[in-house]
Structure 1
Amino acid sequence: MGRLPKWQRIAEQQKLRIRKYEVIKECHEENRWSIKWMCQVLEISRGSYYAWCNRKTSARELENTKLLETIRTIHRENNGLFGYREMTLYLKNEYGIKVNSKRVRRLLRLNNLPSSYRRKARYQWRRSRRRSNPDQTAENVLNRKFQTDYPNQVWCTDVTEIKVPGTSKKVYISTILDLYDRYPIAWSFSVNNDSQMVSEMMEKAFMKYPEGCKIFHSDRGVFYTRAAFQEDLKKRGITSSMSRVSRCIDNGPMEGFQGHIKDMCRVLHPNVRSVSEMKEALEMTYQFYIDKYPQARFEGKTSGQIRKEAISGMIRQYPIKQNNRIKQFWAKIENKKSQNA
């Protein structure tokens, strides 16, 4: 327990102490065991035990009991998808309950309600790679400027794959993500990793937004370097931008979104066993992400809520929080450059 964070040690100690009180009370009532003897064995003072027995339920405890019921319901509905941060945001966004995240964290810990997110997956997730000789490539116009001022300014895209558990079959996923609100503009699923899947996704996107976007960013995969694909972007007045070779971070938001969606699908739909079930599970996962998944960057709102606000004219800026590790990494790079200059 010594290696645990302080808050976690305190929560574990409290949970253990309460459990000891419950054991003493149960054994005394059922077996008439000596309270004095049990307190000595369990290294608990009789005074603290009697104080626990005679305590009056405080207003805080009543609030925690009611709050815990709501937390259990949410935890059960999404199979433990939320950690304490997302749970806190979800309580505020869906139930109008404003509560400190530390309080939520403590209740989750004390009541054995762990998050299932980002644990070892039972699915095998693989990124789709398809080598080709590109017809046309483009410069990295986006240049890792992932902050945009309004919707449909920059769209990112990529293709990834999921292996259906217990089978050798795969489902390929193609998605367009808007950088303003991390809203999935369009997506398509297929058992074939081909241009038809990407074309269907593009058709869906332009049906929703005929004017498209200003910049369309992708990697240098065969689907995006085709002459026909690039010509279509030009006709629509869209600037093509492509990640550099072996620089997946150039399309960082898209890469992160894909992993995020697949982990969510694993947690929300753990019993998928066929291609059709996988497609259905992915479809529901996308809708859950749009309508239900709170994001700290958007003050607990979902990407769907931010999109609705933007459509109604309420366009706000949501700055991307700086990652200190990335800042330190680039500081080291600049330091090395200055030393070698």
Structure 2
Amino acid sequence: MVCYLCEAVGVSRSGYYNYFSNRSIQKRKEKENNDKILKDNILKAYKFKRRKKGARQIKMTLEGQFNIIYNLKRIRRIMKKYDIVCPIRKANPHRKIIKATLEYSTLPNLLNRNFKQNIPGKVLLTDITYLFYGNGKKAYLSTIKDGSTNEILAYNISTSLAIDLATTTIKKLMKRNIKLAEGAFIHSDQGVHYTSPIYQKLVKKCGLGQSMSRRGNCWDNAPQESFFGHFNDEAYIKQCNTLQELEHEIKQYMLYYNKYRYQWN
């Protein structure tokens, strides 16, 4: 019977008997116990600061916070085995390009995707994202990110898309008295806020240059888009019921992002 079954499934008799030998059973038990230890450690990093993480973030968090070193292949194997799902970033269907009126002016792309200039305070990236929370409520988040350090230098939350959403973010940046490098400039898309004469006048008043992505080209501001992608995956926005709860969650996330979240590159 054993010979027939082995032949039917394409397994050798020696392989069959070896699989059920005490030695093989013991090896599988040891491997399973080791995997459970790996799983527990990976979950510690995965749940660190209550922020979901992918394999690379888990690897860096394990090394930085728990002094544990695993390679990415091992982490991904354990995550797949125990169904530890990392957030999958999706394109935001709510973002739309707003056509500027004729009185608004676009500016050249001074950045040309040279994001990492290794000069803190030189390249400032800015953009706006939609926030859907509570029962169909909507708010907006404007941020300014340092292209070299990846730090979020200033942010502003509003329930209105008025020009104040962007200008207040600039004012908050200047209030922090951050040391800006010589020739510092702020880069954005060609949204109506950034082509506004009010916004452009304020930027000049603050001693900043201004640069803009090409029309409809999100890659020209990729690090800022990437931040919003991670933010939408990792922040608990939909669980907020009030604007106050939303503001508190965003404040906590910004603290986590600037102080605790590791950067792969």
Same fold (TM over 0.5): yes
Distance verdict in 2 for CA 1:269–1:247, change over 3 Å: closer
Deviation at 1:185, TM superposition (A): 0.8
Q: Secondary structure of 2:42's partner?
A: helix
Partner residue of 2:248?
280
Task: Find 1:87's aligned residue among 44, 58, 63.
Answer: 58
Task: Find 1:159's aligned residue among 116, 128, 145.
Answer: 128
**Counterpart check, 1:249 vs 2:219:** yes
TM-score of the aligned structures, taking structure 2 as reference length: 0.79
Counterpart amino acid of residue 89 in structure 1: M
Deviation at 1:197, TM superposition (A): 2.2
Deviation at 1:92, TM superposition (A): 0.8
Q: Secondary structure of 2:20's partner?
A: helix
Partner residue of 2:119?
150
Q: Mapping of 1:100-249 within 5 angstroms?
A: 100-118=71-89, 126-127=94-95, 129-133=97-101, 134-164=103-133, 166-167=135-136, 169-212=137-180, 214-249=184-219
Q: Mapping of 1:36-75 within 5 angstroms?
A: 45-51=16-22, 52-55=24-27, 64-75=35-46
Counterpart amino acid of residue 209 in structure 1: N
Listed as ranges, the gaps of 5+ residues in structure 1 are 1-35, 298-341
Structure with the bigger percentage of helix:
1
Partner residue of 1:317?
none
Listed one character per residue, the Cα deviations across residues 282-319 of structure 1 (whole Å, up to 9, x for unaligned) are 3322222222322211xxxxxxxxxxxxxxxxxxxxxx
Counterpart amino acid of residue 217 in structure 1: H
Deviation at 1:210, TM superposition (A): 4.8
Are the aligned partners of 1:176 and 1:186 in contact in 2 as well (CA < 8 Å)? Answer: yes
Are the aligned partners of 1:68 and 1:107 in contact in 2 as well (CA < 8 Å)? Answer: yes
Counterpart amino acid of residue 116 in structure 2: Q
Distance verdict in 2 for CA 1:80–1:107, change over 3 Å: farther
Distance verdict in 2 for CA 1:104–1:247, change over 3 Å: closer
Are the aligned partners of 1:158 and 1:219 in contact in 2 as well (CA < 8 Å)? Answer: yes
Listed one character per residue, the Cα deviations across residues 46-97 of structure 1 (whole Å, up to 9, x for unaligned) are 5423424445976x87665443322123334567822222211211111111
CA distance in 2, matches of 1:50, 1:270: 52
Determine which structure has greater relative contact order: mean sequence separation of CA pairs < 8 Å that are 6+ residues apart, divided by chain length.
2
Listed one character per residue, the Cα deviations across residues 4-38 of structure 1 (whole Å, up to 9, x for unaligned) are xxxxxxxxxxxxxxxxxxxxxxxxxxxxxxxx9xx
CA distance in 2, matches of 1:103, 1:276: 41
Partner residue of 1:339?
none
- Percent identical: 25
Listed as ranges, the gaps of 5+ residues in structure 2 are none
Deviation at 1:165, TM superposition (A): 5.4
Counterpart amino acid of residue 49 in structure 1: F
Counterpart amino acid of residue 159 in structure 2: V
Q: Secondary structure of 1:159's partner?
A: strand
Q: Secondary structure of 2:175's partner?
A: helix
TM-score of the aligned structures, taking structure 1 as reference length: 0.63
Are the aligned partners of 1:175 and 1:184 in contact in 2 as well (CA < 8 Å)? Answer: yes
Give the superposed CA RMSD: 3.2
Are the aligned partners of 2:218 and 2:225 in contact in 1 as well (CA < 8 Å)? Answer: yes
Listed one character per residue, the Cα deviations across residues 109-130 of structure 1 (whole Å, up to 9, x for unaligned) are 2222222333x79xx7622544
Deviation at 1:219, TM superposition (A): 2.1
CA distance in 1, matches of 2:60, 2:106: 41
CA distance in 1, matches of 2:175, 2:45: 35
Deviation at 1:218, TM superposition (A): 1.5
Distance verdict in 2 for CA 1:131–1:165, change over 3 Å: farther
Are the aligned partners of 2:132 and 2:237 in contact in 1 as well (CA < 8 Å)? Answer: no
Listed one character per residue, the Cα deviations across residues 216-238 of structure 1 (whole Å, up to 9, x for unaligned) are 11223332233333233323332
Deviation at 1:261, TM superposition (A): 1.3
Listed one character per residue, the Cα deviations across residues 160-194 of structure 1 (whole Å, up to 9, x for unaligned) are 21222541x21101000111022111111111111
Distance verdict in 2 for CA 1:102–1:56, change over 3 Å: closer
- Alignment: residue pair count: 253
CA distance in 1, matches of 2:178, 2:118: 20
